[in-house]
Amino acid sequence: MAGIFFLGGWAWFAYFAGREAEARSLPMAGAGLHTQGGGTGAGPSSADEDMLAGKLFGGLLPIEAVLASKAYADAMDGGCTYAIIRTGGGIAQTPPTSGVGSAWWERFGGDWRQTPSIGTGREPLDACSGEWDGALTEELRQALDAPGNWYMRDGVGTDLHIYSATDRIAARIRYGD
């Protein structure tokens, strides 16, 4: 048994013996993690953020424009992530829903309800609306208030999904950890 530990230790030593010092050191906490959009979250500012919109909506809806997108929250204890798109024309009046096999953060839709929406207290739209243009916030509020559109909230109030075929807008907004 001791021979196994000795050989394991020898293999470890042999692997790192010829490597440079920084290759042998452990990475700093948070190394490789990054925030997107320079912390502002205003509009799409990188390919990663446009990729979020593509993952959420790409197989479900035609994307004419990414209106706002932020893939990573700024705070460890909660923050905003969102993807808001202008859809192409000719979309269905009923909203699509992502497949069950996709990761939860890449899902759009589910338990859709028709608008007008009923507020539930803590609203992701209220918490995150300062991160994009005021006209977009107003358009999203109108989509929630006007009959004939669709919305979905998760059970704890951190996710809000909006779909309007008439206004050609789809949004997934999350406020939370």
For 138-152, what is the mean pLDDT? 93
> Considering only CA atoms, which of 14, 177, 175 is closest in space to residue 81?
175
Structure tokens at 129: 């609306």
pLDDT tens string 75-98: 666 788 899 999 998 899 999 988
pLDDT tens string 20-74: 544 444 444 443 433 333 334 444 445 656 778 888 888 889 999 999 998 877 7
Q: Do the Cβ atoms of 73 and 36 come closer than 8 Å?
A: no
Q: Residue 160: helix, strand or coil by DSSP?
A: strand
What is the pTM for the complete model shown? 0.70
For 121-139, what is the mean pLDDT? 87
